[in-house]
Amino acid sequence: MTTTQPTDTPLAHAASLTLAEQLAARFAERIGQRLLAPGARLPSVRECARRHAVSPSTVVGAYDLLQARGLVQARPQRGFFVREAVAHERGGRAAPATAGALRAAPPRPAPVDATALIRSMFQAQGGLPAPGMGTLPEAWLDAPLLQRALRRVCAAPKAWLRYGEPAGDARLRDALAQRLADIGIAAAPSQIVTTVGATHALDLISRTLLQPGDTVLVDEPGWAVEYARLTRAGMRLLPVPRGAQADGGPDLAVMESLLKAHGPRLYVTVSVLHNPTGASITPAAAHQVLRLAEAHDLTIVEDDSYAWLVPPHAPRLAQLDGLRRTIYVSGFSKILVPQWRVGFVAAAQTLAERLIDTKLIGSLSTPGPLEQAVALCLEQGSLRRHAERVVAQLDAARARTVRLAREAGCRFVSPPAGLFGWVDVGTDTEALAQALLDEGWLTAPGTLFHATPRPTTLMRVNFATAQDARFWRRLKQLVDGTRRHS
């Protein structure tokens, strides 16, 4: 059985640097690139020695070098961990690290686990598929569709010479109102505000409705970017368990308890194809969530970023609520291309006006040409046809990935659906992620999807990019090796 070859250059006995210095420099480079996030645990001395084919004393020497330069810290009985502020950047890129020039960096705001995952996605991983990616494979995207739409839009560029409409391109908002009607959400164009992607939409909402110190309900597990964004804005996160419930929704008992005890202002949730579990809420659970929102004066922000990957009849909170207590968010980067940062918010009319004011302060307007191109794709039905092709490919990819994962001894915590699977591999996935990264496989360990990072045997896999049997064979080998050495 062949295994993937490591992308790291092997440690060289005849090099000008000692093995300990070479190993320290390798870890320092990972830390500088934020592939090892602050708080991340380094492999145990024994595991690191086995992985790099060196003696335990060499590993101890390397860890001592990293500790002496402020990059890691030792915790008694627990091991070595990356210090909270170590990323050294120059001009937006990680500075190259050598054994003689490893320095601590200026402090950065916490938390940074989300940015560690995102930064790692921009790193070349030896050309291998990335099971931890959050997007569709490039080969699945329809570049000619986008090129045709842009050519049509570029034929009349005069409108680009001035700022766009504060609420967003009128043509796109008309098309979005029709799209929302197709999935059962009644919203006039005047209730829709366009944004630079769904993340920008979420940021507009929190800056409009929240103040530092406010409490916010969030799904857990959930999207690390949203945890980081809210925390950096000064919000207090109240995690609501998600994924283990048969109805696909949040733990209603926990939610009600938190509402009574803390009176949170907002609940940010992904009700359909939840990231990372893939669960979708049932109508009965959705009604219960809305009942609690009504009783406790709670506003619900429904992030529907994966809307194009589910049937139109899938129940949404905004559909049942009519945008009274719900704010609906979606975008197009997950179905078109990641760089087309076009998103939108649909809300009650009075709130939409407030969101426009916040948008004007923060970004003035949004990119009209891209919005017009998206509108064209919606109007002509080309986006719908593209989405249907993607869903068919995803169904086939999911079936293959599920089979490979189960053959490798893994278990899906919730029924596989959508783009992501929430997989129990049976060993600490943070340590496993580092071992796989050594060989070029980018994964998404479960700790990234918890509001308070903690060890877990869970990981998120992208069904579209986890179809390579070599990955699952190698994962099984590493898991089996960990069990033998434990």
Range of the domain at 76: 1-108
Confidence band (pLDDT; 50, 70, 90) for 90? very low
Structurally, the chain folds into a number of domains equal to 2
CATH number at residue 67: 1.10.10.10
Q: Are residues 103 and 232 in the same domain?
A: no
End-to-end distance of the chain based on CA atoms, in angstroms? 24
- pLDDT tens string 348-367: 999 999 999 999 998 888 88
Q: Are residues 150 and 100 in the same domain?
A: no
Average pLDDT, integer, range 9-14? 68
Q: Are residues 23 and 164 in the same domain?
A: no
Q: Is residue 486 part of a domain?
A: no
Q: Are residues 93 and 151 in the same domain?
A: no
What letter does residue 8 receive in the DSSP assignment? S
- Is there a cis peptide before residue 111, judged by omega within 30 degrees of 0? yes
Assess whether pLDDT exceeds 60 at residue 94. Answer: no
Q: Is residue 430 part of a domain?
A: no
Q: Are residues 225 and 103 in the same domain?
A: no
Task: Give the predicted TM-score (pTM) of the model.
Answer: 0.79
Number of alpha carbons in the 13 Å side-chain half-sphere of residue 49? 12
Q: Are residues 100 and 159 in the same domain?
A: no
- pLDDT tens string 34-66: 777 788 888 888 888 888 888 888 898 899 889
pLDDT value at position 11? Answer: 77
Mean pLDDT check: name the lowest of 110-119, 339-348, 465-474.
Answer: 110-119
Q: Is residue 483 part of a domain?
A: no
Q: Is residue 122 part of a domain?
A: no
Burial class (CB in 10 A: 0-12, 13-18, 19+), 363: middle
Q: Are residues 98 and 226 in the same domain?
A: no
Give me the residue label for tokens 């006995």: 13
Answer with the residue of higher pLDDT: 287 or 340: 287
Q: Is residue 392 part of a domain?
A: no
Final residue in a domain of this structure, among 329, 362, 381: 381
Dihedral sign computed on CA atoms, order 372, 200, 193, 383: positive
Contact 340, 374 (CB under 8 A): yes
Assess whether pLDDT exceeds 70 at residue 270. Answer: yes
Mean pLDDT, rounded, of the chain = 86
pLDDT value at position 95? Answer: 38
Give me the residue label for tokens 């995102």: 118
Average pLDDT, integer, range 69-95? 68
Q: Are residues 84 and 153 in the same domain?
A: no
Contact 68, 51 (CB under 8 A): no
Confidence band (pLDDT; 50, 70, 90) for 89? very low
Q: Is residue 455 part of a domain?
A: no
Q: Is residue 421 part of a domain?
A: no
Mean pLDDT check: name the lowest of 215-219, 225-229, 331-335, 475-479.
Answer: 225-229
Final residue in a domain of this structure, among 92, 108, 124: 108
